[in-house]
Amino acid sequence: MSLKAESVSPDWFKHKRADKNLIVNPVIPWLMIGFPVLILVAIVIYPTIWMGYHAFQNTNMMKLFYQDWEYIGWQNFATVLSDDRMWDSVGRLIQYLIFGACLEVLLGTILALTLFELVKSQLARVIILILLVLPMMLPPSIVATLWKFLLQAYNGAVNHLLIKIGILGPMERIEWLDAGLSLWSLTMVDVWQWTALPLLIVYSGRVSLPPAIYEAAKVDGASQFMVLRRLTLPLLKEIIAIAFIIRFMDAYKFVDKVYVMTSGGPAQSSELPVFIAFQKGIREVEIGEAAAYAWIIFAVAMVLITLFLKYLKKVLKAQTFA
Amino acid sequence: MTAVKIKNVNKIYERGNVHAVQNLNLDIKDGEFVALLGPSGCGKTSTLRMIVGLETISSGIIQFDDVIVNDLTPEQRNVAMAFESYALYPNLSIAENLAFPLEVRGIPLEERTMEVNRIAEMLQISELLNQRPGQLSGGQQQRVSLGRALIREPAVFILDEVLSHLDAHLKFQMLFELKKIHNSLGKTMVYVTHDQMEALALADRVAVMANAKLQQFANRNELYHRPVNRFVADFIGEPSTNFLKARVCTIEQKIVLEVNENLNFYPDLRRQELINEKGLEEVIIGVRPQYLTLQDGTGKESLTAEVLINEYLGERNILEVKNGSDRFRAVVPPECRAIQGDMVKLFYEPNHVLAFDPQTEVCLL
Ligand SMILES: Nc1ncnc2c1ncn2[C@@H]1O[C@H](COP(=O)(O)OP(=O)(O)OP(=O)(O)O)[C@@H](O)[C@H]1O
Ligand SMILES: [Mg+2]
């Protein structure tokens, strides 16, 4: 190898340490890059290719065991797309997105702007923010377990509280986690945990708006509502959209609380698409079908993310002008 | 119709503990055009912000007519302000920016559009109406900000350095427009600038500020001929006043101010009396370069000096001259061809010799 050992360190680096050259064996950089790449190949790239292959095979547990699956074309996709269970879950996902992600962004925005307007002391602001952000810092599985206990129909703290304050009669119970309510309960818990994220994003956006234009609006005689409608919301429009995109992407792959709190039940009443794919692949070991599921989810995500990125690009372009 | 009275107003910023305005007293008459003039950081913007109601008043009173406005909001005070930093609404187009004060007052769209067009034409920004503030140059944004203040008729107009980013030609046109608006509306206007040309051209009276304090509040004639102290004499006038240290001597019962053995100044009788009264042994002389001329005349005194620089400025020349180790300047006609080393004889009227107390720098008037 003609490569000399010193030549690996760049010029500016040598310049900075003029007295002592950093001597690096040229193999080391390759090792440093190579190791993570290997891990990536092992846990992402190889399984993806494997999955891509099996989406077109009739693989299930037995066939996997005996290694005798065979090519069946698009049949797995057909099975998935004709399955009512899947379409029901899509409906629930949309419900969850509308009432979960949207509610989080809406509540977060309202809280952020109220906090900014009403609390003027910097210290108080920081304390309130920290309190509001606390739920977000807990691991989702812990939050789910916690709420599973709180929402127990008997002995659960939530029902207990409702009885205490007289909303429920002493013998009444709300079955938070039964078929009718389970998805709503999941949504509520998710809102409890994640409202702080859009709150933080919108709050920091509001803080960075120039105070001078608010003074100008005051002198021009604009009412609070007018300022909100004509200045604050339009100026925060993009930031709110970005908060929504972040929550949306998270919601799209929402599975943790479903898994812990209801396992998709009762009677599959709280299943979301990602959870079904997980069920099919890991529980039922219907590898072929699960792979097709994953591909469909992936393709939809690709489309959505491309749209979001297009929007973000537009936003960035607009902001360099503003 | 509003007179603005500022009584003993102080502004202390808690942060940094800055005493930005000290004991300010200003009595602005109804319909008067007042300029606040002073160097950067002297408290002009702070004063304006207190008048407008964007800044709390640390102590003192501000009255609009007979109403104390200390606790009123800007809207209640009914003022319009153009900000030094423009403060344009970045999400609105220029037309919407201009129309905003009308929009919040519920004025219908057609009327708003008409007013916007009128103002835009006056300020020469008609082509920009569909742009956003971010796309405009500093001078263009400044005119939009001015337009937003001028579009309605408040009790008082407050304009903070609204022409500072314009080229001389445009600035001149805008000064003219402002004067026209003031004449036609007859509203009280407070105009902040650090450019004395603007202040003297526009204002009925000029308040000169320095170091958070009001120095003098007077019309341009007073400021020019009877400055209260050395700062005002120095700040007002272009080129600025010559200051020379002089010893007070008495020759034949007349007071003569001796700068050096070859250079004496002969003040008029009243100043001689004042110097006598105060018993000063030394004074600082102030003579405006405009009043040191090459033309003799009745009652004029003269001095000789050596030319250092003859600066050609087109309609006039500025001679930098010296006598002994004392240097000063004179304004001469452009025909003057004196070059370095030439001796010139300069003439002045005794009543143009200002004298300042060297300790307090107060002008003897
Ligand atoms: N919000 C503030 N907090 C603390 N100090 C301030 C604040 N605003 C102004 N000051 C201080 O008050 C003093 C006067 O400021 P001001 O803005 O009134 O000056 P100005 O005369 O308008 O100057 P310029 O011509 O540069 O605009 C300055 O020393 C400045 O540092
Ligand atoms: Mg200022």
Residue-wise pLDDT tens digits, B158-208: 999 999 889 989 999 999 999 999 999 999 999 999 889 899 989 999 999
Q: What is the CATH number of the domain that holds A259?
A: 1.10.3720.10
Overall number of domains in chain A: 1
Instruction: Give yes or no for A233 touching B (CB within 8 A).
Output: no
What is the pLDDT, as a whole number, of residue A10? 65
* Res A2: pLDDT: 47
Same domain, B185 and B54: yes
Per-residue pLDDT, A127? 94
Q: What is this structure's pTM? A: 0.81
Residues 6+ apart with CB under 8 A from B137: none
Taking alpha carbons only, the member of B222, B247, B248 closest to residue B237 is B222
Does residue B105 sit in the same domain as residue B252?
Answer: no
Output the domain CATH number for residue B198.
3.40.50.300
* Co-location of B256 and B146 in the same domain: no
Tens digits of per-residue pLDDT, A207-247? Answer: 999 999 999 999 999 999 999 999 999 999 888 988 988 88
- Cα(B39) to centroid(ligand 2), Å: 9
Q: Is residue B304 within 8 Å of residue B346, measured between CB atoms? A: yes
Which residues constitute the domain of residue B348? 242-356
Averaged pLDDT for residues B212-240: 93
**Does A119 map to a domain?**
yes
The mean-pLDDT minimum among A63-77, A98-112, B18-32 falls in: A63-77
At B55-85, the pLDDT tens digits run 999 999 999 999 999 999 999 999 999 999 9
Q: Pairing between strand B343-348 and B354-356?
A: unpaired
Best residue in B104, B105, B141, B152 for a mutation probing chain A (most A CBs within 10 Å):
B104
Report whether residue B40 contacts ligand 1, using a CB cutoff of 6 Å: yes
Ligand 1 centroid–CA B46 distance in Å is 6
Question: What is the rounded average pLDDT of the residues A128-153?
Answer: 88
Q: Which residues of A touch B87 (CB under 8 A)?
A: 210, 212-213, 215-216
Nearest CA to ligand 1 atom 7: B13
The last residue of a domain, from among B235, B270, B295 = B235
Averaged pLDDT, B130-149: 92
Tell me, yes or no, whether A129 lies in a domain: yes
Q: Which residue in B350, B299, B359, B292 sits closest to B323, CA to CA?
A: B292
Mean pLDDT of the region A190-219: 93
B112 near A CB under 8 A: no
Rounded-to-integer distance, Cα A132 and Cα A104, Å: 13
Domain for residue A63, yes or no? no
Does residue A108 have a pLDDT over 90? yes
Query: Distance (Å) from the C-alpha of residue B118 to the closest C-alpha of chain A?
Result: 19
- To the nearest whole Å, the CA of A307 is away from the closest chain B CA by 24
Average pLDDT over all residues of chain A: 83
* B9, B12, B13: residue to mutate for ligand 1 pocket, most atoms within 8 A of CB: B13
Classify residue B142: in a domain, yes or no.
Answer: yes
CB contacts, 8 Å: A219 with chain B:
52, 54, 74-75, 79-81
Burial A61-75 (b: 16+ CB within 10 A, else e): eebeeeeebeeeeee
The pLDDT of residue B193: 92
Location of structure tokens 């609105």: B92
Asked whether the predicted pLDDT for residue A3 surpasses 70, the reply is no
Please give the residue that has the higher pLDDT: either B220 or A253: B220
CA-B194 nearest atom, ligand 1: 25
Q: Is residue A174 part of a domain?
A: yes
Domain stops at, among B208, B235, B262 = B235
A216/B134 CB distance under 8 A: no
Whether A218 and B148 lie within 8 Å, measured CB to CB = no
Q: Find the mean pLDDT for residues B295-311.
A: 90
| Domain presence at residue A187 | yes
The answer to whether position B363 is within a domain reads no
Please work out, in degrees rounded to the nearest 5, the angle formed at the alpha carbon of residue A137 by the alpha carbons of A134 and A143.
90
Q: Whole domain around residue A188: which residue ranges?
A: 85-321
Mean pLDDT confidence for B307-311: 92
Q: How close A239 comes to chain B (CA, Å)?
A: 14
Q: Report the pLDDT averaged over residues B45-61.
A: 95
pLDDT score of B150: 93
Residue A274 CA, chain-centre distance (Å), reads: 13
| Domain count along chain B | 2
The answer to whether the Cβ–Cβ distance between B134 and A322 falls below 8 Å is yes
DSSP code per residue over B14-66:
TTTTEEEEEEEEEEEPTT-EEEEE--TTSSHHHHHHHHHTSS--SEEEEEETT
Angle subtended at Cα B119 by Cα B117 and Cα B122, rounded to the nearest 5 degrees: 105
